[in-house]
Chains A and B, each alone.
Chain A
Amino acid sequence: MDMKKIMIVGAASAIAKEVAILFAKEGASLYLVDINQGRLEAVEGDILARYDTKIKLDVLNVLDFERHEPVFKRAIEALNGLDAVLIAHGTLANQEETQQDIEKIIREFNINCVSVITLASLAANYFEKKKEGLIAVISSVAGDRGRMSNYIYGSAKGGVTTFLQGLRNRMAHSNVTVITIKPGMVDTPMTAHLPKSPLFSKPKDIGKIIYKAMLSKKDVVYAPGYWRLIMWVVVHIPEFIFKKLKM
C-alpha cells in the first residue's frame, strides 16, 4: 500500500512535524490537525518551504470528543480517503501537582489516553471497512512501567499501549497495520522544563524512526531502539525492590 494521504493529529508537535516533512518529500497529501491555527500555519509554512505538496489544516481540541468524528470525516473528504493516520498529540504535566488534583488527573488521562483511543477507534473502523490502512500512535516508554516521577502520564500511555495491542490483534484480520511507537526522552517543547541528559534524542531522529516504521509496518517500535533494552531492565526489576527506588 502506498501512503499518499495521511492524517496527523498533534501535527504541530516537534516529532510529528518531522514525520510530516518526510512524507511531504515523497509527495504525500497531508491533513494536519492541532489545537491552534497559528501553530498549524507555522508548521504548514515550514513543510511548504521544503516541498510542494497538498496540505489541509484543521483545528481540534482533542478534549472536544464530540468533534472527533466530524474532523475525521472532513479529513477523509478533503484528501478523498486516507491511507494512514498518525496520532501524536500529548501533554506531560507536572506529576507532583497533578497527583494532588483530581481534575488535572482526569484532564491528563483524557488528553493522553481517552482521546487517543477514540481517535484510533475512528481510524480503525474506517480502515477495517476498507480492508487496508495504517494507524501509528505515539505512546511512550513511560507506559512500560509506572514510576513515581511520572505515573499519571505513564499510566495513560500504558493504557494506550494495551489498547493498541488489542487493536492490532483485531486489525490484523483486516490487513490494517497498527504501530505502537515508544519514544524515550526527546528534546521537545514538552520536555523543555527538564534538564537534558545524553539520553535525550532529537525530534528529527525520532521522526525518521517513525517514518521508517510506518513504511516497514512494524508493530512496536522503541525510539531510538536502545530504549527496548533500557525498558527491559526497568520492567524486570522485582517489584519489592522497585517500589523502594526513587524513579
Chain B
Amino acid sequence: MNQKQNILNKYESWGRFPRSEPREVVNLFWRNEIPDLNQFSSSVLAYAYGKSYGDSCQNDGGILLDTKGLSRLISWDRKKGIIRCESGVTLAEILDFAVPQGWFLASTPGTKYISVGGALANDVHGKNHHKNGTFGCHVIKFELIRSNGERLICSEDENYELFCATIGGLGLTGLITWVEFKLQPCPSSFFAIESIKFDSLEEFFEINEESEVFDYTVSWVDTTATGSKLGRGIYNRGNHANPKLYKLPDLPKPKQIPLPIEAPFINSCTVNVFNMLYYNKQMNKVEKQIVHYDPFFYPLDAVVGWNRAYGKNGFIQYQFVVPFERGKETIQKILRKVSDSGMSSFLTVLKTFGYVKSPGMLSFPRPGITMAVDFRYDGQQVLDKLKELDVLVREAGGVIYPAKDSRMSSDDFQRFYPNWKEFSEFIDPKFSSSFWRRVTKS
C-alpha cells in the first residue's frame, strides 16, 4: 500500500510539527452525498488545505474528511454582498469572484489559501479585527452534519447554541458543508497604505493609538534587535483605496514561486539577516503606497510552500493575546526573552484586537494586544523556552491561539478557555482531533 502511504503523509499541518498521520482519508465531493459518519471505526475530522499551524487540523490515527472537493458556490446576492458556498471553497476563490464586483472579505487572515469551513471553525481574524471582529462575526448561517445523520441549519434563529459552538469550534461539532456569510463593499482591489518605522514599543503604542481610525493595522517587529533597539519595527496601516481619491495602478499579474526543495533555509543566521534587511529596506520614517490586496494581506502566499523552508522538523507559531492593562509590559518581557534566548523569529507580528465580540464560544480574539512569533522546531529546547513565555502570558491574563498551537499544556488550555467543558457538550461524539485529545487529557 505504498500509494496509500504516499497520500496519507501529505495531510500535514502547516507547521509540520508534531508529525501525525491519519489512518484513512475520505474525500468528499458532493454535499448531498456525505457518507454516514457513524460507519467509520474511528473518529473523524474535516481537513481541507492544512493551513492550521498545529494539531487542530490533525487526527492522528483517525480519519480525515477531505473537504477540498466541496468547492462550489451556491448563491450570491450581489446587491447585499451575501455569498453562500460549500465549505471547501477557498478565500482566494471568493476574492477572485467578488472583488471585481466590488466586494471584499469582511475579515481575512494572512493567507487566502484556506477553506471557508476552516475560517469558520477557527474563527480567524485579520488586520481589521479592531473594526470588523472575526470571520465568525460575518457568518449568517451554515449547514452542520452530525454523525447521527442530522443536517442542521445553524444561524442566529436556528440552533443558535450550535451556531456559537461551531464558530471557533475547531471542527469538533460536526461537518460544515456550506456557509453563508456577508462580504463588505470595496471600491477597488487596492489599498492605500502607510508604513511607519518605530524604534521602540513605546513608539508602537503611540502610533497604534492614533491608527485606530485606519481600517487595517498590523506591525512587524524585529525580534533580533536587542538593548536600546528592542521593540523596533514597522507599523503598517491602510484603507481601501477609492479610485476617486487615488490614481490606481494596473492590476498586477498574479505571481507565485514554488519553493522547490525542503531545506532549513530559516536559521538564526538568515533570520538575523532578514530582520536587518527588512527593517532597513525602508529608508524613510513614513512611506505611503498604493498596493494590491495580495502583497498587503497575503505576502507569504507568493511563495508556495514557504513552511518547508523550516526544514523537515517543522516550526511552531506562538500566538497569544494579552489584555491592554498588562499589554505593554508583557510584550516587552516576551520580546526580551525571545531576543535574549537567541531563538529569533523570522516573522513576528504585533496587533491590537478590538472590542467587536464574536458569537464563537471558544474564539481566541478578545480585546488586547496579540503577538505571533515563529520558531523553528529543533528539539526540546524550543519547547522549554516557550514554557517560559507561557508563564508570562498566564500572569498577564492572556490566552494562546488553538489554531496555531501544537504544544500548550492541557492545564493552560483549560485555564485559558474555562468554558471548554460547556463547549464539549456540543462536540459531536464521532469527531475528534489530535489537538482536542491533547488539551483535554487530564
Whether the pair B73, A195 counts as a contact (CB closer than 8 A) is no
- Report chain B residues within 8 Å CB of A193: 3, 7
Q: In chain A between 147 and 197, which residues have their CB closer than 8 angstroms to a CB of chain B?
A: 189, 192-196
- Report chain B residues within 8 Å CB of A36: 30, 33
Pick the residue among B6, B32, B74 that contacts A195 (CB under 8 A).
Answer: B6
Whether the pair A45, B74 counts as a contact (CB closer than 8 A) is yes
Cross-chain pairs A/B with CB under 8 angstroms, 5 sampled: A36-B30, A42-B72, A189-B27, A193-B7, A194-B7
5 closest residue pairs by CB, A with B? A195-B6, A46-B72, A49-B73, A38-B32, A49-B76
B141 within 8 A of A: no
The tally of residues in A whose CB lies under 8 Å from a CB in B reads 15
- B72's closest neighbor in chain A, by CB? A46
The B interface is mostly helix, strand or loop, or mixed, namely mixed
Give Cα A195–Cα B8 distance, bound, in whole angstroms. 9
Whether the pair A45, B72 counts as a contact (CB closer than 8 A) is yes
Whether the pair A45, B30 counts as a contact (CB closer than 8 A) is no
Give Cα A198–Cα B29 distance, bound, in whole angstroms. 22
Pick the residue among B27, B31, B85 that contacts A192 (CB under 8 A).
Answer: B27
B97 within 8 A of A: yes
Given contacts A38-B33, A42-B32, A189-B27, are A194 and B3 in contact (CB under 8 A)? Answer: yes
Whether the pair A50, B72 counts as a contact (CB closer than 8 A) is no
- Report chain A residues within 8 Å CB of B85: 49
Given contacts A194-B3, A195-B3, are A189 and B73 in contact (CB under 8 A)? Answer: no
Give Cα A43–Cα B30 distance, bound, in whole angstroms. 10
B10 within 8 A of A: yes
Give Cα A213–Cα B103 distance, bound, in whole angstroms. 32
Pick the residue among B27, B29, B69, B73 that contacts A46 (CB under 8 A).
Answer: B73
CB distance from B156 to the nearest CB of A (A): 23
Whether the pair B74, A46 counts as a contact (CB closer than 8 A) is yes
Give Cα A99–Cα B73 distance, bound, in whole angstroms. 39
Whether the pair B74, A49 counts as a contact (CB closer than 8 A) is yes
Binding site for B on A (CB under 8 A): 36, 38-39, 42-43, 45-46, 49-50, 189, 192-196
Given contacts A38-B30, A38-B32, A50-B97, are A45 and B75 in contact (CB under 8 A)? Answer: yes
- A45's closest neighbor in chain B, by CB? B74
CB distance from B366 to the nearest CB of A (A): 35
Give Cα A43–Cα B33 distance, bound, in whole angstroms. 14
Given contacts A49-B74, A50-B97, are A189 and B69 in contact (CB under 8 A)? Answer: yes
Binding site for A on B (CB under 8 A): 3, 6-7, 10, 27, 29-33, 69, 72-76, 83-86, 97
- Report chain B residues within 8 Å CB of A46: 72-74
Whether the pair A45, B73 counts as a contact (CB closer than 8 A) is yes
CB distance from B160 to the nearest CB of A (A): 26
- A44's closest neighbor in chain B, by CB? B72
Give Cα A196–Cα B27 distance, bound, in whole angstroms. 14
- Report chain B residues within 8 Å CB of A43: 72
Whether the pair B29, A49 counts as a contact (CB closer than 8 A) is no
CB distance from A55 to the nearest CB of B (A): 14
Give Cα A192–Cα B71 distance, bound, in whole angstroms. 15
CB distance from A48 to the nearest CB of B (A): 8
- B27's closest neighbor in chain A, by CB? A192
Give Cα A39–Cα B69 distance, bound, in whole angstroms. 12
Besides the contacts A38-B30, A45-B73, A195-B10, what 7 more A-B pairs have beta carbons closer than 8 Å?
A: A39-B32, A45-B74, A49-B74, A49-B76, A189-B69, A192-B29, A195-B3
- B29's closest neighbor in chain A, by CB? A189
- Report chain A residues within 8 Å CB of B74: 45-46, 49
- Report chain B residues within 8 Å CB of A45: 72-75
- Report chain B residues within 8 Å CB of A194: 3, 7
Give Cα A45–Cα B69 distance, bound, in whole angstroms. 15
- Report chain B residues within 8 Å CB of A195: 3, 6-7, 10
- Report chain A residues within 8 Å CB of B84: 49
Give Cα A220–Cα B3 distance, bound, in whole angstroms. 32
- A21's closest neighbor in chain B, by CB? B73
Give Cα A50–Cα B78 distance, bound, in whole angstroms. 10
- Report chain A residues within 8 Å CB of B73: 45-46, 49-50
- A17's closest neighbor in chain B, by CB? B72
- Report chain A residues within 8 Å CB of B33: 36, 38-39
Give Cα A192–Cα B86 distance, bound, in whole angstroms. 19
Give Cα A73–Cα B31 distance, bound, in whole angstroms. 31
Give Cα A237–Cα B423 distance, bound, in whole angstroms. 62
Give Cα A145–Cα B69 distance, bound, in whole angstroms. 30
Give Cα A49–Cα B84 distance, bound, in whole angstroms. 9
- B93's closest neighbor in chain A, by CB? A204
- Report chain A residues within 8 Å CB of B76: 49-50
CB distance from B250 to the nearest CB of A (A): 22
Give Cα A46–Cα B73 distance, bound, in whole angstroms. 4
- A46's closest neighbor in chain B, by CB? B72
- Report chain A residues within 8 Å CB of B10: 195-196
Give Cα A238–Cα B7 distance, bound, in whole angstroms. 33
Pick the residue among B3, B27, B30, B97 that contacts A39 (CB under 8 A).
Answer: B30
- Report chain A residues within 8 Å CB of B69: 189, 192
CB distance from A135 to the nearest CB of B (A): 27
Give Cα A44–Cα B27 distance, bound, in whole angstroms. 22
Whether the pair A49, B75 counts as a contact (CB closer than 8 A) is yes
Q: Which of A38, A46, A50, A196 has the most CB of B within 10 A?
A: A46
